[in-house]
Amino acid sequence: MSEENKLVATPLVRPEWLKVKLSTSPKFAAISGLLMEQKLNTVCRSARCPNIGECWGRGTATFMILGDICTRNCRFCAIGHGIPDAPDPDEPNRLANVAWEMGLKWLVVTSVDRDDLPDGGAGHFAQVITAIREKLPEAGIEILVPDFRNREQIAVDILTATPPDIMNHNIETIPRLYRMFRPGARYEGSMKLLEQFSQRGLITKAGLFVGVGETWEEVYTVLRDMRSAGVQSLTIGQYLQPSKDQLPVTRYVHPDEFKEVELYAYSIGFMHVASGPLVRSSYKAEDAQYFYDLVKGKRVVKEEQQ
């Protein structure tokens, strides 16, 4: 029997620790209006993130560049797939202006997969980083990149020449479930990408979902692989089915289990760990202040060496 057939779509009752309230914050409405006015996408809305109310209410958002149509169709993701439009050359400046208007001190920028582009979209990421640096020179920048399949070396060269403060790439799940959960991607390819960025001196971050049929030993093996690849920051959270078109949840993981994973991750050398049911790759990224300070220190050292 295939892994996919093992996932029986039996509805599960969502536990109390996974229930979130809709936001009525004025900031939520203000950010929503500003993003629509400037024609900017967020992964918060496109991926139906459960934390959208909390994050937007705090005045933070994860920007999604290169459109809202993905060239892949991962079974866990609610973002639309198909043939995307050409990159918008004015998007980097619009994004930087909105970030300035919001007074952001820490930005997270991600994108859809763009297998149609010769560099996988890496050049557009670099343009966004440059625009933010010019508009908000003191802001920290974290980018959450796709795997740049078959274009890894081009992307690594581009993004190490115009580096963010933190380079994030999600592994998403264990190797056994990759074909079902993340078709079109390769576990080994994603680990190699993280390793290449780490070897180039970038601070790397990666994330996982649980609740789709993995065992804890399989999860711990992935964490050890991440550390071997030089990953320093980890996020791990509960998979939640965005709609009936995506894979169902096989179980809801208790907060105590997430705490155990956090302790294990620190024990094998991760410097920063966010582990909990509602944790996502950029959830409260701006709150990791000591990690942010470390990154800023590394940037100062680089500037002094020039």
Q: Structurally, how many domains does the chain consist of? A: 1
Q: What is the pLDDT of residue 71?
A: 93
Helix (H, G, I), strand (E, B), or coil: what is residue 283?
Answer: coil
Q: How confident is the model at residue 304 (pLDDT cuts 50, 70, 90)?
A: very low
Longest dimension (CA), the chain: 59
Q: Please check whether residue 8 lies inside any domain of the structure.
A: no
CB 243 within 8 A of CB 263: no
- CA 256 – CA 249 distance, rounded (Å): 19
Half-sphere exposure of 284 (CA within 13 A, CB side): 15
Predicted confidence (pLDDT) at residue 161 exceeds the cutoff of 60: yes
Q: What is the pLDDT of residue 62?
A: 78
Q: How confident is the model at residue 82 (pLDDT cuts 50, 70, 90)?
A: very high
Give the range of the structural domain holding residue 128, as residue numbers without chain letter.
Answer: 20-305
Q: Please check whether residue 258 lies inside any domain of the structure.
A: yes
Q: Which residues does residue 264 pair with via DSSP β-bridges, in sequence order?
A: none
Q: Please check whether residue 14 lies inside any domain of the structure.
A: no
Q: Please check whether residue 9 lies inside any domain of the structure.
A: no
Q: Which amino acid is at 109?
A: V
Here the CATH number for the domain that contains residue 239 is: 3.20.20.70
- CA 59 – CA 152 distance, rounded (Å): 33
Higher pLDDT, residue 236 or 80: 236
Q: What is the pLDDT of residue 301?
A: 37
**Mean pLDDT confidence for 143-170:** 95
Q: Please check whether residue 235 lies inside any domain of the structure.
A: yes
- CA 67 – CA 10 distance, rounded (Å): 34
Place of tokens 């990759």: 178
Q: How many residues does the chain have?
A: 306
Q: What is the 3-state secondary structure (H, E, C) of 83-110?
A: CCCCCCCCHHHHHHHHHHHHCCCEEEEE
Q: What is the pLDDT of residue 245?
A: 81
Q: How confident is the model at residue 240 (pLDDT cuts 50, 70, 90)?
A: confident
Q: What is the pLDDT of residue 229?
A: 98
Q: Please check whether residue 2 lies inside any domain of the structure.
A: no
CB 132 within 8 A of CB 105: no
Q: Please check whether residue 1 lies inside any domain of the structure.
A: no
- CA 68 – CA 111 distance, rounded (Å): 8
Q: Please check whether residue 234 lies inside any domain of the structure.
A: yes
